[in-house]
Amino acid sequence: MTFNKTRLEKLQKKLSENKIDLAYISNFKTIQYLIGFGSDPFERTLALVLFADSEPFLFTPALEVEVAKSTGWPYKLIGYQDNQDSMKMIIDEIKSRNVSTNKFAIEQSHLTYDKATHLKENFEGSDFSFNLTPIIEYQKLIKEDDEIDKLIQAGKDADLAFEAGTHALMLGKSELQIAAELEYATKMRNVTEMSFATLIQTGSHAADPHGETSDRLLENNSLVLFDLGTVYEGYISDMSRTVALGKPTQHMKDIHAIVLEAQLAAQEAARPGITAAQLDNVARSVIEKAGYGEYFIHRLGHGVGMSEHEFPSIMEGNDLVLQPNMAFSIEPGIYIPNDLGVRIEDSVYITENGAIPFTNSSKELLIF
Amino acid sequence: MTFNKTRLEKLQKKLSENKIDLAYISNFKTIQYLIGFGSDPFERTLALVLFADSEPFLFTPALEVEVAKSTGWPYKLIGYQDNQDSMKMIIDEIKSRNVSTNKFAIEQSHLTYDKATHLKENFEGSDFSFNLTPIIEYQKLIKEDDEIDKLIQAGKDADLAFEAGTHALMLGKSELQIAAELEYATKMRNVTEMSFATLIQTGSHAADPHGETSDRLLENNSLVLFDLGTVYEGYISDMSRTVALGKPTQHMKDIHAIVLEAQLAAQEAARPGITAAQLDNVARSVIEKAGYGEYFIHRLGHGVGMSEHEFPSIMEGNDLVLQPNMAFSIEPGIYIPNDLGVRIEDSVYITENGAIPFTNSSKELLIF
């Protein structure tokens, strides 16, 4: 990733509208989004500090300085060694600017108690009540065109990964082995990483939407649920398909057909103007009318971008109106304990003319 | 994992020594360690609350309640839905206990500003200055025997993974493809996950100890650096080896021999009584005497356990005295820019009689 001035300027405009003197940004994912550099510092300190009346600076562990430089960061960059007091160095740098520090913006849902306390003690009387988290989340909500391009590429990789996974299906293999073959084929194509551990669930195991891929052997005449994604230049794909191994029963076919109808109905309804809650309800109504409402036990979808933990959340109660270039998953499911689980998921982005999916694998009940 | 009363009791003893009324535990990894349940809640809330004078309770997203129950948690368990105010529910539950709440213990390096503020506002006048983070870190520092057993198993899996990786070595393949084959062979054996993305670096790429596995093709008559690990029941392995593809130069052989001498010297010296800093210096002196001190640019090692981000940190300035059942990596390296990189790493645990490595693959310069 390389430095992208646009995103930083957009945020700084927002800060100035809110009369913020300085913003202390601690979440490496936010920093990654804003300036194209940022990796998890774990117990170390990473910070991006923006000012109303001074140039920003980036503060990183010494080991990261070269990588940070290579992304083209044009402002001050401070590296620190493990034996140095990182927070003191940051505070000293802020004070050296001799600018107003009355109103801070911090990521209240990320900045930790100790670091926040350190800042508050050193800037006594300053106002820390402004929360940067929603500002950042809303900026990430509307994807730029080059972000959409990366999501499209990640979707193509996911389609190929799913195809490889279906080729691996065979009685005698475990869920973990199918995941291994799917990921192997994907990484042999030089895809750097999966966006999450590939989920393969067979038979009644798929009834637990929060279960994990296990050493359970594939069952004959049964359904197999795939949930997978890949990463392309920091942007993820996320898709689910449910297929049959052997001969599916009529009951399996029926449940699959209901979930597919719900997924397609929501994908068709997803366009500018509808709210997230209304969209959730489009899919949920289909499943409820078929009599399986109690088995659709999660929200319809989540935002996708640099992770699967973004806005918009497609769920009851969210009155956010969908707009062009929002990107999210549409993933209804029916989970009947001790019986089966079916989920079908495409991630999509919104255009003036409707939703376009990033993944294009068949959603029919494929039989292997 | 299943509920382990011992760990919780050990912590509660510590809390009572410090006259803590209640502990609010927010880090899912801490909760996982203490009670055998805990997965990253991301934007949701997960908390374990311990009292001096009341039974503890666990608070989780509704979706996690069944999994939490299945681990055998014997006390109160509260699940919440996305449309409920999680912090209010936690605060109400605490207040309903009618016990003293004057002195809180929180994980100051984990609890976020917004949640801490919420607690402080609702328990006005309470003391939040007690930091739980170091207490937890020190409790995790001395491994229990069953933790050592899991680390040993993870080490065996890592040895097999490395062996599979060396079998995959071939000109024409990329670093990512070697990693793909190594991980494939590992997961086909039903190993659930790698402890981190397998690092394969060829030639001068290995000179960057913070680089990532890339689509770079393997180079002939060159070194290849492996850094890899697996997870067994929540416990990780972490090992590095540097091998040759084709015919290594005398320079490559010399550097490898120096790093190996440093690694073996430190592994021999690692025993109860020596400090972390002294151990770092044992390996560093070998490399310095050989004239390559400036190219050993990181600490000697880090703790291993449920992650590679644990105590003890084997580095200059850390006067912690090593004790039986501490577990950590010993990983000296020499990184010469635009030339080569060599790192050799075993993770070990300390016994009365010295260090025992979890991994046992040959550390000689293997040639493929």
* DSSP collapsed to 3 states, chain B: CCCCHHHHHHHHHHHHHCCCCEEEECCHHHHHHHHCCCCCCCCCCCEEEEECCCCCEEEEEHHHHHHHHHCCCCCEEEEECCCCCHHHHHHHHHHHCCCCCCEEEECCCCCEHHHHHHHHHHCCCCEEEEECHHHHHHHHHCCCHHHHHHHHHHHHHHHHHHHHHHHHCCCCCEHHHHHHHHHHHHHHCCCCCECCCCEEEEHHHHHCCCCCCCCCECCCCEEEEEEECEEECCEECCEEEEEEECCCCHHHHHHHHHHHHHHHHHHHHCCCCCEHHHHHHHHHHHHHHCCCHHHCCCCCEEECCCCCCEEEEECCCCCCECCCCCEEEECCEEEECCCEEEECEEEEEEECCEEEECCCCCCCCCEC
Kindly determine whether residue A215 and residue B179, on different chains, have CB atoms separated by under 8 Å.
Answer: no
Query: What are the domain boundaries of chain B?
Result: 5-140, 142-357
Residue range A5-140 in CATH 1.20.120.10: no
Predicted pLDDT at A39: 84
Given a cut of 80, whether residue A4 has pLDDT beyond it is no
Given a cut of 90, whether residue B191 has pLDDT beyond it is yes
Quick one: pLDDT band at residue B1, thresholds 50, 70, 90? low
A13-41 pLDDT tens trace: 999 999 999 999 999 999 999 999 888 89
Whole-number percent of chain A with pLDDT over 70: 100
Task: Give A-chain residues touching B87 at CB under 8 angstroms.
Answer: none
Q: What are phi and psi of A80, to 5 degrees?
A: -130, 150
Predicted pLDDT at B182: 97
Task: Give B-chain residues touching A113 at CB under 8 angstroms.
Answer: 106-113, 116, 128
Give the dihedral sign, CA B35/B40/B46/B50.
Answer: positive
Candidates A87, A113, A214, A314: best to mutate against B (most CBs of B within 10 A) is A113
Q: Which residue of B has its CA nearest to A311?
A: B43
Q: Which residue of B has its CA nearest to A84?
A: B317
Predicted pLDDT at A1: 65
Task: Give B-chain residues touching A191 at CB under 8 angstroms.
Answer: 176
Kindly determine whether residue A108 and residue B116, on different chains, have CB atoms separated by under 8 Å.
Answer: no
B145-184 pLDDT tens trace: 999 999 999 999 999 999 999 999 999 999 999 999 999 9
Closest chain B C-alpha to A309 CA, distance in angstroms: 8
The CB density around residue A40, as the number of other CB atoms within 10 Å, is 11
Helix H, strand E, coil C: the string for chain A is CCCCHHHHHHHHHHHHHCCCCEEEECCHHHHHHHHCCCCCCCCCCCEEEEECCCCCEEEEEHHHHHHHHHCCCCCEEEEECCCCCHHHHHHHHHHHCCCCCCEEEECCCCCEHHHHHHHHHHCCCCEEEEECHHHHHHHHHCCCHHHHHHHHHHHHHHHHHHHHHHHHCCCCCEHHHHHHHHHHHHHHCCCCCECCCCEEEEHHHHHCCCCCCCCCECCCCEEEEEEECEEECCEECCEEEEEEECCCCHHHHHHHHHHHHHHHHHHHHCCCCCEHHHHHHHHHHHHHHCCCHHHCCCCCEEECCCCCCEEEEECCCCCCECCCCCEEEECCEEEECCCEEEECEEEEEEECCEEEECCCCCCCCCEC
Region for A338 from its dihedrals, namely left if φ exceeds 0, alpha if ψ lies in -120 to 50, beta otherwise: left
The residue to which tokens 């309470």 are assigned: B126
User: What does the alpha-carbon distance between residue A103 and residue A124 come to, in Å, rounded to a whole number?
Assistant: 11
What the block records as the tokens of A169 is: 């299906």
User: Between β-strands A222-228 and B47-51, what pairing exists: parallel, antiparallel or unpaired?
Assistant: unpaired
Quick one: pLDDT band at residue A67, thresholds 50, 70, 90? confident
Given a cut of 80, whether residue B321 has pLDDT beyond it is yes
Q: What are phi and psi of B230, to 5 degrees?
A: -130, 170
Kindly determine whether residue B190 and residue A174, on different chains, have CB atoms separated by under 8 Å.
Answer: yes
Q: Which residue of A has its CA nearest to B318?
A: A83
A222-272 pLDDT tens trace: 999 999 999 999 999 999 999 999 999 999 999 999 999 999 999 999 999
Predicted pLDDT at A272: 98
pTM to 2 decimal places: 0.92
Question: Who among A113, A187, A297 is closest to B113 (CB)?
Answer: A113
Q: Which residues pair with B98 in a beta bridge?
A: none
| CATH architecture, range A145-357 | Alpha-Beta Complex (3.90)
Closest CA relative to residue B25, chosen from B126, B100, B131:
B131
User: What does the alpha-carbon distance between residue A151 and residue A226 come to, in Å, rounded to a whole number?
Assistant: 19
Predicted pLDDT at A3: 84
B2-55 pLDDT tens trace: 787 889 999 999 999 999 999 999 999 999 999 998 888 988 999 999 999 999
Quick one: pLDDT band at residue A42, thresholds 50, 70, 90? confident
What the block records as the tokens of A301 is: 């979808």
A308-334 pLDDT tens trace: 989 999 999 999 999 999 999 999 999
Task: Give B-chain residues touching A131 at CB under 8 angstroms.
Answer: 114
Averaged pLDDT score across all residues of chain A: 95
Assigned CATH class of B142-357: alpha beta
Kindly determine whether residue B174 and residue A190, on different chains, have CB atoms separated by under 8 Å.
Answer: yes
Kindly determine whether residue B83 and residue A297, on different chains, have CB atoms separated by under 8 Å.
Answer: no
Candidates B113, B128, B194: best to mutate against A (most CBs of A within 10 A) is B113
User: Based on C-alpha coordinates, what's the Rg of chain B?
Assistant: 23
Question: Are domains B5-140 and B142-357 of this chain identical in fold?
Answer: no
Predicted pLDDT at A81: 86
Closest chain B C-alpha to A317 CA, distance in angstroms: 8
What the block records as the tokens of A26 is: 């601690």
Kindly determine whether residue A114 and residue B112, on different chains, have CB atoms separated by under 8 Å.
Answer: no
What the block records as the tokens of A60 is: 């990183």
